[in-house]
Structure 1
């Protein structure tokens, strides 16, 4: 019961954090364009600045993400969650105060610096927390439920943006980010597994001695446990399935971030979309994701397996990008957003496959490694897609194809799809005896 209560508090923490983050997404494009290119629907400076920011954030998270994952295996998920959830608040407060040009640049700098630590950290640590408490045969469904909670936050955040002003959007977002951090600190119980053995003991004295011994080991061995390139390479070599999952993660993230960096500017230039249309589009995508992750995925995961669901999600991701790239009318993006009902299978299944290839005491390390690879993809992606997007949305494009960069992203996603088909199941590495003693059925 205690672990189930911990998961419910984790889900609430995850919801509040993502609700705050997703609120600002539809509004940030208009804020950026208004600060940099007022009165225009196309702005190469905004596209390039977004790309530069993505590269810097990617370089930071490439180093920080594996570090946070490793440290969470030592110090616990809760203590490490406090870092990104607190830092997230700072840039939101700036735009909550003002969206003027000088304040936007201050936001841009601080958002870049804080996101080097925050970007993806909460998701990574939440996955490790779930893996601590859920047995392997239920993990794909549990990861899907976590993703569904994120989709609920996505929908609620975008719906709220649809009905409040831009100024209020950032003010409410900052307030909810504060509430999320406080809620996590007060209510979320710790979930630490040290070498697969729970810190709880039958005797109070044994528990105290165990905790003292563990604290001394943490202080003595902290520098020895910091991740290195050799550690990541060793982890990738430990399992062919884990290596294939890492390759899929790289190419799917490379494509997704290419679309993310391009899509809003593309839709604004092509169909004059604004904050409200972006919010509508994201709500459709989010509702489809909620239905899929909370209702459809748990059934299909047990029936067809997570590897097939991974391939299905990636296939429809390719189709989604292709449809966006050739959109001939303003209703087409809304139709493409409905593909999310199948696209959302990919990430939970990928994370579940990776989690089963390491022991119970290495979940943070494994999720941090995958997140680090995704960060590496986020570093490279802007170099390819930002110039393409700016070029084909400008008047100097070599040929008329505004969605060309999104089409290129679709071909990259196809590589991830092909790799997922080649992936072969491997037996879980986690010890079932340890797993059964530390996990409960949801």
Structure 2
């Protein structure tokens, strides 16, 4: 609901009345780097803790914290309130950005058989797209200040709903014993010595052990890195490029997000559950990544205001990539380590969020300035497309994920979903 507005809020606070603002671009890039650095450390820790204490309690933390920045801009959008929002958002996002998503994937992995995970991951992603469509559609009709007020209220409702109605999914007893397959309990097979949880929470030891123990997981991690470099590069540049080239504002940004959200919803809720059981996530992954490359490339060479809308429609295929990648990673370890695996992938994605701004923020500012070496406003987006193509090539080298049997407690109320 607030994503379409934040570019206008930032520009109005920092560069009133202008369509180009290098300060806004660099502040956004700096925020992305700081958040990525924090997430790189915190996400594996949250995944580790969720394997021990449960998904529900770990979900409570990011949902609760994410309400605070919304309340600041819900009160006022003047320059000093914006800076307060910026500091709070940057600090809190280090522990919240991406955490709800990966904990949801870990929750699904707890209760769904391995053979069905890719489809159900797609459904979870599809529900997120539906919510994005509703949020962005609301942003078209709400004033900017009202959007932040409503968003804060809905965040509180989601927290209350989660605490009241979500049942814990985690199996309490240890399942990872005497496994010989690479796909079972990688950390218990790792040659590294056991890490004490509270002694090494920030050491990233578990993530490093996962990467060293499984060549397949390492390949998935590298693909995740380049995929997220391309996504962060696109996110870091797109709205500023469209505002500078075609004078887009909140309403046009919302329209773009609605189109991509509808396309993603149709794909994840209808198309992917039908095709994935027959094609397999290992084959769908390069297809989704190729269309990720194609739609980013189209954004970069947009020559008319209608072109970004056409590019947004390509999300109907490009959104295959993330659920397939998450499903492949999920199948490479056992039930007791789903939080660690999903947290590791999210941490790697956060590392991409550190790398991307260093490359794309200066390029965006340079090619949107009057001193650009040649006229190509979308050059930084074009570089993001190159990163996506690298992910496409790497995805063709990863084999199908091994099927492992989900072990689900017969008393688990969520077993009916399987």
In 1: Cα distance, 2:283 partner to 2:15 partner? 45
Alignment of 1:38-57 (within 5 A): 38-57=16-35
Question: Quick one: which of 83, 97, 111 aligns to 2:89?
Answer: 111
Q: Does 1:156 align with 2:114?
A: no
Alignment of 1:216-235 (within 5 A): 222-223=197-198, 226=201, 228-235=203-210
Q: Does 1:129 align with 2:107?
A: yes
Q: Does 1:369 align with 2:347?
A: no
Structure with greater proportional helix content: 1
Q: Does 1:283 align with 2:261?
A: no
Structure 1: give runs of 5+ residues left out of the alignment: 1-22, 199-220
User: Residues 320 and 435 of structure 1: is their aligned pair in 2 closer, same or farther, counting only changes over 3 Å?
Assistant: same
Q: What residue in structure 2 maps to residue 102 of structure 1? A: 80
In 1: Cα distance, 2:114 partner to 2:206 partner? 24
* Contact map agreement 1:73 1:194 (CA 8 A) in 2: no
Q: What residue in structure 2 maps to residue 320 of structure 1? A: 295
* Contact map agreement 1:241 1:357 (CA 8 A) in 2: yes
* Contact map agreement 1:89 1:178 (CA 8 A) in 2: yes
Question: Quick one: which of 219, 227, 235 aligns to 1:244?
Answer: 219
- Residue-by-residue CA offset, 1:378-398 (whole Å, 9 max, x unaligned): 011100000000000000000
User: Residues 225 and 44 of structure 1: is their aligned pair in 2 closer, same or farther, counting only changes over 3 Å?
Assistant: closer
In 1: Cα distance, 2:112 partner to 2:407 partner? 12
In 2: Cα distance, 1:354 partner to 1:433 partner? 14
Return the offset for 1:231: 2.2
Question: Quick one: which of 50, 55, 60 aligns to 1:82?
Answer: 60
Query: Helix, strand or coil: the match of 1:422?
Result: coil
* Contact map agreement 2:284 2:321 (CA 8 A) in 1: yes
Question: Quick one: which of 240, 243, 248 aligns to 1:273?
Answer: 248
In 1: Cα distance, 2:40 partner to 2:366 partner? 28
Return the offset for 1:196: 4.4
Point out 4+ residue stretches in structure 1 off by more than 6 angstroms.
none
Q: What residue in structure 2 maps to residue 332 of structure 1? A: 307
* Contact map agreement 1:292 1:344 (CA 8 A) in 2: yes
In 1: Cα distance, 2:387 partner to 2:57 partner? 37
- Residue-by-residue CA offset, 1:222-244 (whole Å, 9 max, x unaligned): 42673633322221122222111
Return the offset for 1:190: 1.2
User: Residues 172 and 441 of structure 1: is their aligned pair in 2 closer, same or farther, counting only changes over 3 Å?
Assistant: closer
Q: Does 1:139 align with 2:114?
A: no
* Contact map agreement 2:43 2:95 (CA 8 A) in 1: yes
* Contact map agreement 2:363 2:380 (CA 8 A) in 1: yes
- Residue-by-residue CA offset, 1:239-264 (whole Å, 9 max, x unaligned): 22211110110000011000001000
- Residue-by-residue CA offset, 1:390-441 (whole Å, 9 max, x unaligned): 000000000000000000110111000000011112424x4x2735867555
* Contact map agreement 2:291 2:314 (CA 8 A) in 1: yes
User: Residues 101 and 441 of structure 1: is their aligned pair in 2 closer, same or farther, counting only changes over 3 Å?
Assistant: closer
In 2: Cα distance, 1:403 partner to 1:409 partner? 10
* Contact map agreement 1:70 1:227 (CA 8 A) in 2: no
In 2: Cα distance, 1:73 partner to 1:309 partner? 29
User: Residues 397 and 365 of structure 1: is their aligned pair in 2 closer, same or farther, counting only changes over 3 Å?
Assistant: same
Tell me the matched-pair count: 397
* Contact map agreement 1:241 1:425 (CA 8 A) in 2: no
Return the offset for 1:193: 1.9
* Contact map agreement 1:134 1:440 (CA 8 A) in 2: no
In 1: Cα distance, 2:409 partner to 2:151 partner? 40
Question: Quick one: which of 354, 360, 363 aligns to 2:329?
Answer: 354
Structure 2: give runs of 5+ residues left out of the alignment: 177-195
Question: Quick one: which of 369, 388, 392 aligns to 2:367?
Answer: 392
- Residue-by-residue CA offset, 1:72-92 (whole Å, 9 max, x unaligned): 000000011110000000000
Return the offset for 1:187: 1.1
Q: Does 1:401 align with 2:380?
A: no
* Contact map agreement 1:70 1:225 (CA 8 A) in 2: no
In 1: Cα distance, 2:173 partner to 2:326 partner? 21
* Contact map agreement 2:41 2:204 (CA 8 A) in 1: no
Return the offset for 1:194: 3.1
Q: What residue in structure 2 maps to residue 434 of structure 1? A: 407
* Contact map agreement 1:266 1:403 (CA 8 A) in 2: yes
RMSD: 1.7
TM-score (norm 1): 0.87
Query: Helix, strand or coil: the match of 1:226?
Result: coil
User: Residues 134 and 224 of structure 1: is their aligned pair in 2 closer, same or farther, counting only changes over 3 Å?
Assistant: farther
In 1: Cα distance, 2:275 partner to 2:60 partner? 35
